[in-house]
Amino acid sequence: MKNFQCKKCGTLIQSDRAPSVSGCRASSFHQWVDLGDVGDENFQCKKCGTLVLSQKRPSVSGCMASSFHQWQDLGHTGSDVYQCQKCGLTIHGDKRPSVSGCMRASFHQWNKLNR
């Protein structure tokens, strides 16, 4: 499986091949960018906010907010749920995620939502 993201509307889909181009809400057609293989590491772009579960650092092309995605490694996925109090991002982690790369503040401020 690979991560595909439309660079027009930002939709992210896990698929083994490029998804259909119809149904884009920002353009006539989706323009899919192959971000690389799906994995269990959380990466967030600090420009557009996209969160991707990827095997390694995803491709930098196709950012909606900037010329390139700027990926921040937020750590391994896991069974705990964390939400940033500043930007609202929710991610699954095996420990408290990295604080860098928040879009709304200097640092993510993580709260653990499960007990």
Closest approach of Zn ion to the CB of residue 88, in Å: 7
Nearer to Zn ion, 77 or 98 (CB): 98
Terminal-to-terminal C-alpha distance of the chain: 31
Interface ranges with Zn ion (CB under 5 A): 6, 8-9, 24, 30, 45, 47-48, 63, 69, 84, 86-87, 102, 108
User: How far is Cα 58 from Cα 7, in angstroms, rounded to an integer?
Assistant: 14
Whether 17 contacts 4, CB under 8 Å = no
Nearer to Zn ion, 29 or 94 (CB): 29
- Both tokens assigned to 67: 């010329």
Closest approach of Zn ion to the CB of residue 49, in Å: 7
